[in-house]
Structures are given as C-alpha cells and as structure tokens.
Amino acid sequence: MKLSWKSIALHHKILAALVLGAVFGAFFNVSRYELEVTTRKDRITESHIVKNWSAIDFFRAETVKIASFGREDQLNILQFFKRLPAKERKELMMRVKVEETGPAVIKEEWRRFDNIASIEKVKTIAVQIKPVGTIFIRLLMFVAIPLVLASLIIGAASLGDITRVGKLGGKTIAWYIATTAIAITIGLTFVNVLQPGTRLSGDARDKLMVEFQGDLAADIPPVDLVDMLVNIVATNPINALASGEMLQIVFFALMIGVSLTLIPQKRAKPVVDFFDGVSDTMIKMVGMIMTIAPYGVFALIAATVGEFGFDILQTLLWYVVTLVAALSVHTFGVLGTAVRFLSGIPYKKFFIGIREAMLVAFTTSSSGATLPVNMRVCEQNLGVPKKITSFVLPLGATINMDGTSMYQGVAAVFIAQVYGFDLGLAEQLTILFTAILASIGTAPVPGVGIIMLIIVLRAVNVPEEGIALILGIDRFLDMCRTVPNIVGDATISTIIAKQEGVLQTR
C-alpha cells in the first residue's frame, strides 16, 4: 500500500506533529544569553542583538547607576525593564560589556544604548511560527461558545421536563464532585509522601522568587469566592456570550433549556430545532478545523518548547514529578477503571477513542477549545448519544476539572513545604474543599488554574507570593492538567449514558 499524508489517520498525524514540534522547539530553543534591544529615536526604530554579555549596567541620567546584572541574569534584566515606569525608561542608558575570550586574547568591549523602547528575548523560528497554533486555538474557541449555548439548550430541553433536568443535572454534578475529590486526595497523598517542597534548596527558592515575583503582581487579579458565586448570574447574557464567560453562559443556557420544557410544545419546537441545527453545524465545523490540527499542534508545541527554560524544569523536578505522577494515576488508573467497571467500555477502547481530544487538550491547554473535539469523539467513538454529550460535556468543561483541582492541592502543599509550614489534617481537608470550589471557578482556558490557586492558599494562610515559585513552570503543567480535565468529563458522560440506558455499545 502506498503511504501518503492523506491516508494517515488524523490522530497519528497529530501525534507525529507533537513529537516533531517538540524536537523542533528544543532545537530552536530561545537562548538565555541573548537579548533584543529595540531603540527608538525621532521615529527611527532600530533593533540590536546583544549576545554573551559578561555585565549589563543601567544608568539614570547618564551617571547614576541604578542596576547591575551578570551573565546569568537574562530573566532579571527583562523583569527590571518591565517594572520600570515609562518616565524612567526615557532617560535610561544601558551599558553592555562583552568579553570575547580567544586562545590568547581577551577582548573587552562596552556597548551603549539610549532611548530604549523594549528589551526582549530573541525569538527563534520555533517561536515565530506560533501564530499558526494560535489560529488553531482561536478556531476551536470560536466554535466552543455557540456550541456550549446550543448544546446545553437542546440538552436541557430534550430531557422533557424540569424534574428530569434537575435529576440528571444533580447526578452529573455529584459525579463531577466525587471524581474531583478523588483527584485532590490522590494529589495530596503524593505531595505528602514525596515532599517535593522540602527538596528545594534555599538558593533555588530565592532565585525563583526574584525572577517571577514581578510577573505575579501583574498577573493576579483579586479573587473572591462570594463574587465568583454571584457572577454565575449574568446581568446581560449577550455580554456573557460576547466575552466568553463560560459559567454565565452555562447557567443562561440551562435556564433557557428548562424554560423551553415549560412552554407549549408548539412554541418550543422551532426554538429547539434552531439550536439543534446550530449545534450540528458547529460539530461539522469542528471536523473541518481538525484537518489542520497537525499544523496547529506542531506550531504550538514548537513555540512552547522553544520558549521553555529547561533549567527551571531541573530546579522544580521533584514538584513536576510529583504532580505528573499523581495526574497519570488519576487519569489512567482511576478514570480508566471507572469507565471499565461503571460503563462497561474496555479500557483500551476508551483511551483510543478519546486520544484525539487528549492530544488537543495537551497542546492547547484549554478545556474550552477541546470541548468541541471531546463531544465529537465521545459521540462517534464511544457511543454516547448527543442527548447526553450535549448536556454533560459543556457542563463538565466548565465546572469539572480533575487535573486543575489536583494541581491546586499539590501546589498549595508544595508552597507550604517550601516555606516550612506544617499543614495538619484540618488544613488538608480545607485544601480539599477549597480546591473543589476553586476548580469550579476556573475558566476553561490556559493559565487560570494558577490564579484561582490563591483561593486555596488564602484558606490555609499560606503566603500568596509563593505562587512566584511555580509560575515559571506553569505553562507546561497547564498542558498536563488539562488532559485529566477533559478525560474526567468524557468518563462521566459514558457513566451517565450507561445509567440512563442509552450508551450505544457497538
């Protein structure tokens, strides 16, 4: 048989793209010893590459030295510039000392830069192709919002009456909370046994704090549990749709679905038919979008690996190992077994069936973007009818995050261990409870889990600044935790379908 690109199955293409993208990104990894300094004077912009410095000094008003950095300080230099008020940037002068060491000569050279507009890492080709991946994520997100709205409306409406919606909703949420609690318990067990926080040296801790504290202040908005609850109800649902507020959209759609069951059939039918059509159209669109998935995945992975600081992986190795081990046990142990025994789908069939969704979750770090793919594979490969996927999966993508909740539990204890705090059983239970709530409030998009972690830290009085310790590795861990987030949803959809007697076993 002749092997052509067209004849290869899509999941194989995506997997190949993932591996090739990672290799490409590692090869074109962004250098720690290069900076791109852009200067702007009289509307003339110039870009300069600064390499292999041995010292970089910054001066105010030509003479007053305000900061001094060494060879290893790329991140600190970027931070320093980012935090500098615009006014001070104007009168900033940068002096770079470059030493060229030959066999016998040591050449020393100072370069001077004024009117600095920006200082950035030098982007490699691996990072430059990122827009291809961003388009892929955006295409999936653009399907996700209308899909969530339409599916949940028809999902709730097709159940026929309000008591069935309530019953099925209650059952689904109970399953979601149960699996989330199991996930956190597994995470807490791993972090307490392996003690990754006590294995981090004081030096490494101080270095991480200095490098990432600046990002922290900028990234973290105030989070409040009561506000979170109040916010589920949108004052203007159109606004919620426009700004992609998932929890608000879910609530709004459920309310419409339920109300449709309460008005005369004749009036409700055209509305339901309309949204049914919208949902089918969106699912069809996902099929089209997925044909470019290999390119999107390649670009996303290449850019992530290309930007990745491998040193930080080394520094936080124990933390990463703890979390990845716990996430794997939950995904392949607990969830896989639950599917096998509670829905009767063989272990292998389940994971093969949803592998496309798992790959997309890993590369996009977004349960929201993966939702359309998850719905498609659960219907087509696992035999979960649309009636169930359209209700259970959008709800799950928004409120059920096994990976994120486990991550929040592990991260909270890790930070406490680094600070030398002893968390007793009562505190660990508080973590369990608040991580369930925090994960419910986490939006299904990249990087929100770490922001919601604040709720957990506050509940057990662990300093919020500790987040700086794990900020540098978050991009990678976000990819890892998003996989169980969507596998958990798929798991529950099969269990509910089985319990409702509608799982189509082929």
Interface residue list for ligand ASP (CB under 6 A): 365-367, 401, 404, 442, 444-449, 478, 481-482, 485
**What is the nearest approach in angstroms of ligand ASP to the Cβ of residue 326?**
14
**What is the nearest approach in angstroms of ligand ASP to the Cβ of residue 190?**
18
Q: Report d(CA 373, CA 237) in Å as an integer.
A: 25
**What is the nearest approach in angstroms of ligand ASP to the Cβ of residue 444?**
4
* Shorter beta-carbon distance to ligand ASP: residue 155 or 444: 444
Element (H, E) at 65: strand 64-70
**What is the nearest approach in angstroms of ligand ASP to the Cβ of residue 102?**
49
* Shorter beta-carbon distance to ligand ASP: residue 165 or 467: 467
* Shorter beta-carbon distance to ligand ASP: residue 256 or 289: 289
**What is the nearest approach in angstroms of ligand ASP to the Cβ of residue 266?**
40
* Shorter beta-carbon distance to ligand ASP: residue 172 or 367: 367
**What is the nearest approach in angstroms of ligand ASP to the Cβ of residue 392?**
16
Asked if residues 456 and 438 have their Cβ atoms less than 8 Å apart, the reply is yes
Q: Is 422 left (phi over 0), alpha (psi -120 to 50) or beta?
A: beta
Q: Report d(CA 187, CA 390) in Å as an integer.
A: 30
Residue nearest to ligand ASP (CB): 449
* Shorter beta-carbon distance to ligand ASP: residue 343 or 485: 485
* Shorter beta-carbon distance to ligand ASP: residue 237 or 446: 446
**What is the nearest approach in angstroms of ligand ASP to the Cβ of residue 202?**
29
Phi, psi of 65 (to 5 degrees): -75, 125
Please list the helix, strand and coil fractions of the chain in percent, rounded to the nearest 5, in that order.
70, 10, 20
Q: How far is CA 361 from CA 129, 208, 444, 451, 482, in A?
A: 20, 28, 11, 19, 6
* Shorter beta-carbon distance to ligand ASP: residue 392 or 401: 401
Kindly tell me the burial class for residue 248, based on how many C-beta atoms sit within 10 Å of its own C-beta (0-12, 13-18, 19 or more).
Answer: buried
**What is the nearest approach in angstroms of ligand ASP to the Cβ of residue 273?**
32
**What is the nearest approach in angstroms of ligand ASP to the Cβ of residue 129?**
22
Which residues is 391 bridged to in the sheet? Answer: none
Q: Report d(CA 346, CA 416) in Å as an integer.
A: 40
Q: How many CB atoms lie within 10 A of CB 389?
A: 28
Picking from 501, 495, 468, 503, the residue whose alpha carbon sits closest to that of residue 171 is 495
Q: How many CB atoms lie within 10 A of CB 1?
A: 4
Q: Report d(CA 9, CA 13) in Å as an integer.
A: 6
* Shorter beta-carbon distance to ligand ASP: residue 140 or 154: 140
* Shorter beta-carbon distance to ligand ASP: residue 254 or 361: 361
Q: Which residues contact 57 (CB under 8 A, 6 or more apart)?
A: 65, 67, 68, 69, 94, 95, 97
**What is the nearest approach in angstroms of ligand ASP to the Cβ of residue 311?**
23
Asked if residues 465 and 216 have their Cβ atoms less than 8 Å apart, the reply is yes
Q: How far is CA 259 from CA 167, 232, 252, 265, 489, in A?
A: 16, 18, 11, 11, 25
Angle between helices 474-499 and 402-418 (to 10 degrees): 140
**What is the nearest approach in angstroms of ligand ASP to the Cβ of residue 67?**
33
* Shorter beta-carbon distance to ligand ASP: residue 141 or 159: 141
Q: Report d(CA 367, CA 369) in Å as an integer.
A: 5
Mapped to the 3 state alphabet, what secondary structure does 236-261 carry? CHHHHHHHCCHHHHHHHHHHHHHHHH
* Shorter beta-carbon distance to ligand ASP: residue 383 or 396: 396
